[in-house]
Structure 1
């Protein structure tokens, strides 16, 4: 192992020892492969130097290239989505072959858990509308895989997730991008976007009808409280139910024009709470249980400013895991006042 100044660190390097705060809390555990976000995190916490595994340079460079490759490909995908969605504002017909190609890229991303974990690092507030569509496509195909869906369904879910909000291209920017709360009239305009999306897709003869239905129904809810038609349970397509779940999760964990992001655990809690009335219980449970597992071992920041590490998930409530804070283990299910406000995914 060799000690490096934090300003000498590069993506792809591997920590050989835990990095601790002055109070003894583990900021970044050993074995973590450094990313730009991790390096910035260490600098922000005033860490001067860290111990790094001595490895062949091509190994370190290869890891760094892998992270950089995903980010490059993700932003190239973002540019493609911007192009076709902005084209729809000018009444340009949907280039279905291009959209299907993008959807296949999203399936590929969902095959790689490390890529899925990097989603929290590549989100950009300025591109929220477009990247939200990408992320919903990725999460939808991932959830479809967790539910045991076949390959064709997983491809359809990716495409439906990518297209779920295309109706918003028909909403005036002054409403869609308004930073303040919407008026009742403006919200009624927003509520039309599933219908607009369905109408945009109707001329696409080569598109599976289930995808059109998923776009139309993705804001419908099990108890009839959704829109645009207020239909219930069995009348809602399973694709729509899947997209409803991942749509909520990605929106809450993203910076939006009108609201900052919340921690993944806040989003997981929202999905869990809505599973009793709004969302399909089996689909919601599968998602929040499996996505919670991503964060075991992660460094978390609490609402009192302290830092800890997730050690073990609480089977009855994944949003309240067992955490280690300095040299103590704390069961968050018994400490309701302590909330996770941010997560560092390594």
Structure 2
């Protein structure tokens, strides 16, 4: 294998390592992917400096084994340690599971949504902070006692859901949320909000929206059983570490399986949210109809938020570039109906937004062609920049 700069990449080269987003757990492109011109353009626009490429295709069949002692040694380098015996016990439990075929969620589409009143006078950032702290307390109790307070999770979703449903400009709502040092909790809450919005756009009933919101808060719960140092790690993640990170979907399913009252829909959302339509995901390498409907929504929201969120060691990309990645991957990695609804509804609120282009110019979006929702026309001073015609220019920041 060799590491190349993105400007050295050529069509047909094969990835030697998966392309992982800044959160360290969302797989954007799988190991073994043959690069296309579009891949290379996206990687360049997402500021990846270098990529590992296979020199010999036989290298692709090499597997990475989980070496817990090596992981513990890496943890100590980062000034931490973890309970090896507990981790081994958790992994043994996961390996012992027999996963039944997916029970598809029976979603009632196109129902009229009557979503409640809520306390409209409470600012969204105050409500968000309250929900975030409450969710953190629930997760801490889970770590301390092994008990998950599902009633509190449901209450948290019902508390914040009305504000989300009233306002379709979800990007504005997300921008109003206060930043938090607890990325895992913050990210889960944002995914819960996004998933509920997508469910609304797809015509889910109120009860289904609440359940989907719960799934959004709980889908990453398996990370509670991943060594803390790994979730905080800012340097390059080792292949062995990524193999452990990928176990979080199964670890989450295991936790939810033991929690009374958790629905099948929520369990499958946790287990399947890293599966992909073409079978390239993990942990079960499922395809299309084998993947649960809730997971198809959450995987899109998970990737989108992970891509747009700033981290200490990597700046997030613009929502338009993240949506562009989703659109390009539609049908291959992500459910086309979910991606279409998600990107179309987002684009309805781009018009009038100020943006910075990759040229450095600052302007305003004045028109969005619904056939190309991520390539708007931007007015910069007296001139108009049509991003459909100027494919080399992208929206770098939505201001």
Secondary structure at 1:308 match in 2: strand
Report the Cα distance in structure 1 between the residues aligned to 2:314 and 2:287, rounded to whole angstroms: 29
Residue 169 (1) aligns with residue 203 (2): no
In the alignment, which residue of structure 1 is the partner of 2:157? 103
In the alignment, which residue of structure 1 is the partner of 2:181? 126
Counterpart selection for 1:74 from 119, 128, 131: 128
In the alignment, which residue of structure 1 is the partner of 2:329? 274
Report the Cα distance in structure 2 between the residues aligned to 1:326 and 1:67, rounded to whole angstroms: 39
In the alignment, which residue of structure 2 is the partner of 1:313? 368
In the alignment, which residue of structure 2 is the partner of 1:153? 208
In the alignment, which residue of structure 2 is the partner of 1:287? 342
Unaligned runs of 5+ in 2: 1-119
Shift of 1:115: 7.5
Shift of 1:123: 4.8
Report the Cα distance in structure 2 between the residues aligned to 1:68 and 1:335, rounded to whole angstroms: 43
The structure with more helix, counted as a fraction of residues: 1
Structure 2 vs 1, CA of residues 320 and 211 (structure 1 numbering), >3 Å: closer, same or farther? same
RMSD: 1.9
Shift of 1:258: 4.5
Normalised by the length of structure 2, the TM-score is 0.67
Report the Cα distance in structure 2 between the residues aligned to 1:230 and 1:206, rounded to whole angstroms: 27
Contact residue 222 and residue 279 of structure 1 kept, 8 A? yes
In the alignment, which residue of structure 1 is the partner of 2:299? 244
Contact residue 181 and residue 258 of structure 1 kept, 8 A? no
Residue 94 (1) aligns with residue 125 (2): no
Counterpart selection for 1:180 from 229, 235, 252: 235
Shift of 1:90: 2.7
Task: Write the deviation string for residues 269-311 of structure 1: whole angstroms up to 9, x where unpaired.
Answer: 1111111300011111111111122221100011222111111
In the alignment, which residue of structure 2 is the partner of 1:44? none
Report the Cα distance in structure 1 between the residues aligned to 2:169 and 2:386, rounded to whole angstroms: 30
Shift of 1:83: 1.5
Task: Write the deviation string for residues 60-112 of structure 1: whole angstroms up to 9, x where unpaired.
Answer: xxxxxx89721111111111122222333334310111111112123223213
Report the Cα distance in structure 2 between the residues aligned to 1:205 and 1:282, rounded to whole angstroms: 32
Report the Cα distance in structure 1 between the residues aligned to 2:169 and 2:181, rounded to whole angstroms: 21
In the alignment, which residue of structure 2 is the partner of 1:217? 272
Report the Cα distance in structure 2 between the residues aligned to 1:193 and 1:309, rounded to whole angstroms: 41
Contact residue 269 and residue 295 of structure 2 kept, 8 A? yes
Report the Cα distance in structure 2 between the residues aligned to 1:311 and 1:85, rounded to whole angstroms: 44
In the alignment, which residue of structure 1 is the partner of 2:247? 192
Secondary structure at 1:324 match in 2: strand
Report the Cα distance in structure 1 between the residues aligned to 2:275 and 2:234, rounded to whole angstroms: 25
Normalised by the length of structure 1, the TM-score is 0.77
In the alignment, which residue of structure 1 is the partner of 2:192? 137
Contact residue 249 and residue 273 of structure 2 kept, 8 A? yes
In the alignment, which residue of structure 2 is the partner of 1:324? 379
Contact residue 125 and residue 255 of structure 1 kept, 8 A? no
* Higher alpha-carbon deviation: 214-223 or 68-77: 68-77
Unaligned runs of 5+ in 1: 1-65
Report the Cα distance in structure 1 between the residues aligned to 2:327 and 2:159, rounded to whole angstroms: 29
